[in-house]
Structures are given as C-alpha cells and as structure tokens.
A and B are shown apart, each in its own frame.
Chain A
Amino acid sequence: MSEYVIRGGEVIDASGRRAADVLVRDGSVVEVGTALDAPEVLDAVGAIVTPGFVDLHTHLREPGDEDAETIETGSRAAALGGYTAVVAMPNTRPPLDDPTVVRAVLAIGAEALCEVVSSGCITVGRAGEALAPMGELHRLGVRVFTDDGSCVMSAGLMRRALEYSLCLPGSVVAQHAEDDSMCAGGSMHEGAVSSRLGIPGRPGEAEAIIVARDIRLAALTAAHVHFLHLSTAASVDLVRAAKRDGVRVTCEVAPHHFTLTDEACASFDPAFKVHPPLRSAADVEAVRAGLADGTIDAIATDHAPHTPETKERPFEEAPPGMLGLETAAALTLTELVEPGIITLEQALAALSWNPARIAGVDDRHGRVVAPGAPANLCVLDPSATWTVDPGALASRARNTPYAGRTLRGRIRHTVLRGERVVLDGRATR
C-alpha cells in the first residue's frame, strides 16, 4: 500500500490538539510529528486532522429500498461527510433480525467507502413481540441492538432485552423512544403549530415517558441503554439525572433537532417530516445545552433517504426522515461551534470518539492519532463555506431539509484504513 503524509494541519483527538503532520503507511498511522516527509502529500494546511466520524444512526435502505439508497451510495455520502464508520439501522426489508441478512449487509459493506457496522434487531421483525437472535448476531460482530423506527413498547420485553444483553460483551440496547399509543397518526410535534395546521401531533411526552421508563429498566438490570435521537427538554433532563445517579445510559441527538423547529412544518414540505419530529424552540435550546454539558454523548445523523416520489406526497402521507450524512459535521460547526455553544473538541468528540465507544468500534475508529492506530481519519476545513444543493449530494435520495442553506465547515479528505476515499472534497470511487 501507499505511503503519504497529511501535512500542515492541526491534529485534534481525545488527547488534545497540536499542530502536526501525520505519516500514513499500509493503512496505519506510523508517525505524528513535525516536518514529516513522504512520497505523497495530502494537504491539510488550514484544516483539522481528526479521527474519522462514526455515525450511530444511518439508514442505508439496502436490502429492500435500493431506489432510495444503497450501501454503496450511502457509504459514499458518509465518506463525503467525514465518516469512516456508520451503524446501519435494522429497518431494512427484510430487517436485520437474522444472521443471513446481517452477513449479506456486512459482505456488501466490505466494499463500501466507509466501514459498515451492522446493528441488529431487538425483536423479531421489529414487531416488539419476541427477542431476535441477539447472541447469533453478536457473534457476527453486532453490538448495537435496536428496533429503530419502532419503539419497544412492552416494558417486560425491553427488560428482557436489557438483561440478555449482559451476556453479550460490549453490547448496547438502543431505543427509539416514542410511545406508539400517543403518536398514532401523528406527523409532527404536538403544539401550537400542529394545532394551527390541523396536523395530528406526536407529543414530546411520548418520548419522555419511554426515556423515564427505560432509565428505570437500565437501573434495574445494570445494562447499557442508549437513547436514539433525543429531541425534548424533558428527555435531556431525565438522562442528565440518570447519569448523575450512575445509570448506564448514553444518548445521541440528530443535527435537525438542534437546528430546526416545528415551525418549518408550516411549509407543508415533507422534507421537514421526521420521527421524532422537529420540536419547539425551547426543546432545541435544551438539546444544545445537553450537548454543552455532556449529557448528550453523540451527534448521530438519523440519515433517512426517501425517494422524491414518496416525499412528494402530502405531509401527512409522506414517510418520515431526512438526509444527514453530508451535512451533519457542517451543521455541528455552524449551529453549535460557531455560536460558542460547544467547543470544537466537544464537537469532534460527539462526532467521532464518543459514538465509536458506544458502537464498540473504538479499537479502530475514534482513536488517538498516534503510531499504530488504523488510519481512519478525516481532514476538515472548519472555515470553508458551502451551500447545500440537493442535486449535488452523493446520496441517491434528495430529501435534505437544508436545501439552499449556507454552512461553514467542509470535509477536505477522508481516509479509510489508509485509503484516500475522499480527496479535495470528492469521492475517489
């Protein structure tokens, strides 16, 4: 394999920040220092060299909905967004509740532009009735168990899943916290806007109720529960208190929940429809505060591609979800770092090493940039601005809610196991 130096950047990782060149050979970091030389140079002047990002929450749609996204197109979007690993969500068709399907996803993922980490279902068919073969999936490397898209509604079954996860080292049970019975037919946040628009709501309490319940279950079982895409002030408060009490709880937030509010739904554009829904301005503030004080561990995209045909249905009839991989880092810098809500180090922790630890891939992602570490890296230009053009995204789908928005922060290069998968903002394959 090749040898090259990433030159002139500032390295930021869990150990801190320093101006340094990074020498990469045969897929690994071999030296970090000043004035390093190699046959080839990757320009990092004015940029940050950081461990590649890890997305805890990506919908790749393959198998089953390849007209919206494939593992290949999704991984290209991920690489362009600075990600070197993504956790593929299990709500494919068929779902990731069977070793055969997980093996197939991992096999296709082996060729991808980022590492494709398979999640596994908590329950068979994500139906919330019987435990999926968690042990068999664990043997294939699955560490994140989730029925994402659906909430595990039965407290008894959720308890069993948490208990059982204790015999599967490194595993985590990740909950889509929204009480179905309170959200039936709901398409947006329940509040003044939904009341005005006459669109049935999904109340914030539907999330907080499940978060409160599952924190109790995590305390009861001593297992690790992770909350996917938290979106309300009440949920953030609950997690903050649970962490203080020593409960094994982690959580993530999606960029749209710290960027957009339910007012966006008044356009009736289904690009703004997502579950959990865009919340109130007060919730957005609380989520930002949760990131600032460390209550929220990770920023995860909930990248959810949908075809233009389905997103051209009326709001109430369109599927929920929005693209995220190519905009997450820039939104983090633009919405959180630039206004001084979190530091750049906090942002990178939330995008890289924190989620790497939760996903159980911290042996190869999110590591301190030092000799011996696998070269899974990202070079980020924090001052470059760009305007989101849906047509220019690598994702097969176009359902970004940020069309026309100018963002600060652009991925210059992404390195996967030493391979330069993104060079100067372009995917190399």
Chain B
Amino acid sequence: MKHLLSIADLSRAELDELLDLAASFLSVTQRETPKVPALRGRTVVSLFFEDSTRTRLSFETAAKRLSADVMVFSVATSSVKKGEGLRDTVATIAAMGIDAVVVRHAAAGAPHRIAEWIDASIVNAGDGRHQHPTQALLDTFTITQHRGRDLSGMRVAIVGDVRNSRVARSDVQALSMLGAEVTLVAPPTLLPETLEGWPCTSAVDLDPLLPDLDAVMLLRIQHERDASTRFPSLREYTARYGLTEDRARRLRPDALIMHPGPMNRGVEIAAAVADGPQSVIGEQVTNGVAARMAVLWKLLGAGGDVV
C-alpha cells in the first residue's frame, strides 16, 4: 500500500489490518510515554490547502508519536498565496526528500493528482466533497470498539449535508464493507443527485428511524459549499433534522451519537446531546490519532514492528 486516497481503494483485508493497527496504537497513546520509534528518520509533510484544526493536529500528533519528523506547510503564509501552482508547490516539497505528504484540498482529486506527480506516499486528509478516508477509519474504529468488528445488521444513520460531505462518501464505503446498513438522511436538496452505486439507502425523515438506530452521525451544514441555499432556514432544518434532546430520547439507550466535527451546537445537534452519555464525539477525536498512526505506519513502516 503506497497511498491512502480513498476508502474505495481498500480491500476488506486492508481495512481489517488498519483497524487492528489502530487498536494497537490506541494502547500506545494511552501509555505514560505515548510514543514509539517506529518512523524515526522518516519525514511527513502536512500540506493543507484548506482550513483545518482537528485533522491537521491529529495527523501531526500521530506522526510525532511515531517519532517521524513533521514539516508543516502552511498555505496561508506560503508561495501558494503568491500564485504558485499546485504542481510546483508539491515538486518543491518533494525535492526536499520527504516520505509522506498529508494533503487536504478544497477540490476533489487533488491528492490523486499529486500522487501521480511525486514519489512520496500521499495520505488524503480530505479532498473537496470526495473522500476523507482517515475520518472513515476513525469513525469505523470507534463503532467497532463498542460493537465488535462484524457490523452485520447494524443500522447507522448519517444525517445532514450529505451532498457536500466527503465524510459521508467515505463512511458509507467503510461501514458497508463491515456489514452495516447505512441510511443517509437529509432533505432531497442535501442528498446526492443519485445514489446509484452507493451501498446504502436514503430517507427524508429522521423521526421514524430513531428507535432502530445503532448509531447516528450528524453532519455540519457546509455553508462554504452552497449548502445554505438548499433549504429555507436553519430553524426549519433543525426542526426537521436536528438531533434535539427530544429526538435523542427516542434513540435506544445504547445507540452511539457521533459527529466528525466541527459542530454547530444547536443546529444539527443540541449541546446537551453532544455532551450527553451516548455521545462518543470525544472518543472519535482520540481514536483519530490512533487511526492516523495506523495509516502512516502502514504506508511508511511496513515490515517493522508496531511497538
């Protein structure tokens, strides 16, 4: 495995291996000294063309806990702002002799193009509305921590701005690979134009699904990607699709409540629900570091011992 660009590129065996690795690394991160020398001497560049807090920090933390050297390329202060093209930017970085590039870009396929241009391993940290494979890994890992590896018959709802969501596109693929039955819930204007080829179903009403769900994942409305023109008002959206306290009470007591962040409290999820006993949102963040350690190790450290 040279790159991680899309969940669709993974076999079931590779997904299983990454989940196993994530479990091992989770135990590492819980040690007093949460660091292993697995990637000592390797250099990982974080190249974020689009704003991010948690994903960037999570990747950098993961790389450092594996003892890799981390270079941060901040677009805001870089030559990109001076008009440098994508290809020149990555060629410059590649010329410095690096092993992996963690890429986030506002446009779909940017990491795929970069992977064609340079030798280093490319990790997709989110490309446009297309894919966010490490988010899917950490989401899947979080669910399997609670429910075991076989998710057959498990019902998961992904609610909200699915059309603009790379998280949804990745999660549907990863969860269905493990047997989960995924339902995308949103007004028709926030669902993809077609679900042809998607291993999931869709619904426009959340309420009837609530009692049967094993997990519910709320998505943020992506105003920056035109989502707010697709329904009349946030008030109306919350009324129909928000996970309010009332709706949360109709979930089974063991149903997991998830959110990839960043959250808009009071819009897609009520504050009390986000902080409530069924929420695993904090675990998702913790697991994110372990999942990303698994990916970096798999791409760069294959052959060596994990810990």
Contacts and interface: CB of A to CB of B under 8 A. Distances in A.
B129 A198 contact: yes
A145 to B, nearest CB: 33
A314 B193 contact: no
A389 interface: no
Contact of A312 (B87, B129, B130, B169): B87
Interface in B50-87: 85-87
Interface in B105-123: 105-110, 112-113
Contacts of B106: 316
Interface string B19-58: 0000000000000000000000000000000000000000
Contact of A195 (B166, B196, B226): B196
Interface in A295-331: 309, 312-317
Given A199-B129, A314-B113, A191 B108 contact: no
Contacts of B166: 198
Given A185-B226, A317-B107, A196 B197 contact: yes
B183 to A, nearest CB: 17
B219 to A, nearest CB: 13
Interface string B187-228: 000001111111000000000000000000000000000100
A316 B85 contact: no
Given A192-B194, A195-B193, A314-B113, A309 B108 contact: no
Contacts, number: 70
Given A185-B226, A196-B197, A198-B169, A312 B107 contact: no
Nearest to B196: A192
A267 B113 CA distance: 8
Interface in A401-415: none
Given A197-B108, A199-B129, A199-B130, A191 B169 contact: no
B261 interface: no
B109 A309 contact: no
A190 B192 CA distance: 10
A207 B44 CA distance: 46
A273 to B, nearest CB: 11
A268 interface: yes
Nearest to B168: A198
Contacts of A199: 108-109, 128-130
Contacts of A317: 107
A194 interface: yes
A191 B194 contact: yes
A202 to B, nearest CB: 11
A267 B115 CA distance: 12
A315 B226 contact: no
A199 B169 CA distance: 12
Nearest to B107: A314
A379 to B, nearest CB: 39
A195 B128 contact: no
Contacts of A268: 108-110, 112-113
Contact of A309 (B85, B164, B195): B85
Interface residues of A, number: 23
Nearest to B129: A198
A316 B226 contact: no
Contact of B109 (A185, A190, A197): A197
Contacts of A312: 85-87, 113
Interface string B74-106: 000000000001110000000000000000011
A196 B192 CA distance: 9
A190 B107 contact: no
A194 B193 contact: yes
B291 to A, nearest CB: 21
Contacts of A313: 85-86, 107
B195 A315 contact: no
A268 B196 CA distance: 20
A201 interface: yes
B162 to A, nearest CB: 10
Given A185-B226, A268-B113, A316 B128 contact: yes
A135 to B, nearest CB: 41
Given A185-B226, A313-B86, A314-B107, A198 B128 contact: yes
A317 B112 CA distance: 14
A256 B163 CA distance: 28
B109 A315 contact: yes
Contacts of B196: 191-192, 195
B122 to A, nearest CB: 13
Nearest to A199: B108
Contacts of A314: 86, 105, 107-110, 113, 128
Contacts of B86: 312-314
B169 A201 contact: no
A201 B106 CA distance: 16
Interface of B: 85-87, 105-110, 112-113, 128-131, 164, 166, 169, 192-198, 226
Interface of A: 185, 190-192, 194-201, 203, 267-269, 309, 312-317
30 contacts: A190-B193, A192-B194, A195-B194, A195-B195, A195-B196, A195-B198, A196-B197, A196-B198, A198-B128, A198-B129, A198-B166, A198-B169, A199-B108, A199-B109, A200-B129, A268-B109, A269-B113, A312-B85, A312-B86, A313-B85, A313-B86, A313-B107, A314-B105, A314-B107, A314-B108, A314-B113, A315-B107, A316-B108, A316-B109, A317-B107
Given A197-B108, A201-B193, A315-B107, 13 more contacts: A190-B193, A195-B193, A196-B169, A197-B130, A198-B130, A199-B129, A268-B110, A268-B112, A268-B113, A269-B113, A314-B113, A315-B109, A317-B107
